[in-house]
């Protein structure tokens, strides 16, 4: 498996990052996960723009996100990812003497890109629906930045796994924000609701796709608040994200959503989404 690291293409086993890298020492960096469908990176431009916005927000000296496109394409090609796959991109503030404040100007950002085949989660999760638990959202107040600092997400997702569920639905001040690695949607009286794009969630690329598809299908959709205690009484619940795509949630905290079957609006959105993908 060939990867890209700081200007070089090399076998993954030979790729080395400094122990002084601020990604390693401080989780001082950003990442993106891009889906590959039929050998093509999906919504790559949107992911690169989000990476750039993150670099600007964190004042990481990395601006030429355009240069990542040919890198992604070359890795897809050279690694023979002709079907479904994943591109992983990570940019850190680079290697420097360990000080909390920024390193000297001109310190090179560390740039890592990998592309590999990906079969995805088991298909029954989309067909029969997945389950979730609620967990406190104890992340910082800049969840809009796709930082590699993911400990709260990891702890919440691990709790979900330990409870033999798929996702942790995060709750801040009694309100559902998002999942540990997905955006959360509710359906009430035929209308889609998801937490407002703000500093408290990552505005998912797939979230934007769901708004677009809903518009095309004539399904009303808006940003709004889902109170944690109302979650169980919604007509439908689903997740959106690069890897989860549009995934029905049929039970939360062991309580079934309606009859415990994926809802009709979720099914319609998923079908339309899948049909829109390159093949
Ligand atoms: N929220 C969080 C916390 C995530 O990690 C993800 C997955 N990147 C998402 C939402 C969904 O974002 P996207 O649709 O861009 O993958």
Atom 4, ligand 1: residue with shortest CA distance: 181
DSSP β-bridge partners for residue 2: 11
Question: 109 and 167 in one domain?
Answer: no
CATH code at 90?
Answer: 3.30.470.10
Residue-wise pLDDT tens for the chain (279 aa)? 999 999 999 999 999 999 999 999 999 999 999 999 999 999 999 999 999 999 999 999 999 999 999 999 999 999 999 999 999 999 999 999 999 999 999 999 999 999 999 878 999 999 999 999 999 999 999 999 999 999 999 999 999 999 999 999 999 999 999 999 999 999 999 999 999 999 999 999 999 999 999 999 999 999 999 999 999 999 999 999 999 999 999 999 999 999 999 999 999 999 999 999 999
What letter does residue 98 receive in the DSSP assignment?
A: S
* Dist CA 148 CA 137 (whole Å): 17
Residues with CB under 6 A from ligand 1: 33, 153, 178, 181-183, 202, 204-207, 240-242
Regarding whether 60 and 129 lie in a shared domain, the answer is no
CATH of the domain at 156: 3.20.10.10
Q: What is the pLDDT of residue 94?
A: 98
Residues 210 and 264 in one domain: yes
pLDDT at 114: 98
Specify the residue with its C-alpha closest to ligand 1, atom 5: 181
For residue 276, how far is its CA from the centre of ligand 1 (angstroms)?
A: 20
148 and 268 housed in the same domain = yes
Residues 134 and 231 in one domain: yes
* Entry pTM: 0.98
Residue 32 alpha carbon, nearest atom of ligand 1: 8
Nearest C-alpha to atom 3 of ligand 1 is from which residue? 181
Q: In sequence order, what DSSP letters do the residues of 153-213 get, joined into one string?
A: HHHHHHHHHHTT-SEEEEEETTEEEEESSSEEEEEETTEEEEPPSSTTS---HHHHHHHHH
Mutation probe of ligand 1 site: the residue of 48, 140, 203, 204 with most atoms within 8 A of C-beta:
204
Residue 15: predicted pLDDT? 98
* 75 contacts: CB under 8 Å, gap ≥ 6: 2, 3, 4, 9, 81, 87, 113, 114, 115
What range does the domain containing 99 cover?
2-117
| Helix 44-58 / helix 68-78 crossing angle, nearest 10 deg | 130
From 117, 152, 171, the end of a domain falls on 117
Number of domains forming the structure of the chain: 2
Task: Mark whether 146 is an active-site residue.
Answer: yes
* Given the residues 99, 105, 116, 146, the one annotated as active site: 146
pLDDT of residue 135: 98
Strand order in the sheet with 110-117: 8-11, 2-5, 110-117, 85-92, 29-37, 40-41
CB 166 within 8 A of CB 199: no
Are 176 and 243 members of one domain?
A: yes
Last residue of a domain, one of 117, 150, 178: 117
- For position 119, what pLDDT does the model report? 79
């Amino acid at each position: 498996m060939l990867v890209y690291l700081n200007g070089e293409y090399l076998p993954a086993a030979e790729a080395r990052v400094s122990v002084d890298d601020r990604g390693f020492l401080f989780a001082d960096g950003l990442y993106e996960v891009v889906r590959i469908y039929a050998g093509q990176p999906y919504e790559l431009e949107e992911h690169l723009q989000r990476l750039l916005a993150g670099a600007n927000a964190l004042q990481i000296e990395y601006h030429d996100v355009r240069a990542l496109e040919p890198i992604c394409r070359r890795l897809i090609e050279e690694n023979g990812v002709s079907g479904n796959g994943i591109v992983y991109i990570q940019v850190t503030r680079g290697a420097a003497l360990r000080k909390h404040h920024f390193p000297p100007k001109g310190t090179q950002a560390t740039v890592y890109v990998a592309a590999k085949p990906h079969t995805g989660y088991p298909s029954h999760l989309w067909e029969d629906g997945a389950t979730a638990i609620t967990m406190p959202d104890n992340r910082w107040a800049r969840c809009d930045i796709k930082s590699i600092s993911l400990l709260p997400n990891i702890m919440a997702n691990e709790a979900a796994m330990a409870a033999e569920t798929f996702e942790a639905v995060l709750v801040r001040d009694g309100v559902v924000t998002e999942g540990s690695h997905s955006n959360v949607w509710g359906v009430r009286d035929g209308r889609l609701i998801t937490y407002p794009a703000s500093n408290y969630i990552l505005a998912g690329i797939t979230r934007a796709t769901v708004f677009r598809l809903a518009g095309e299908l004539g399904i009303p959709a808006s940003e709004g608040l889902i109170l944690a205690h109302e979650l169980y009484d919604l007509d439908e619940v689903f997740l959106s994200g690069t890897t989860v795509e549009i995934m029905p949630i049929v039970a939360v905290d062991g309580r079934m959503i309606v009859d415990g079957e994926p809802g009709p609006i979720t099914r319609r959105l998923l079908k339309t989404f899948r049909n829109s993908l390159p093949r």
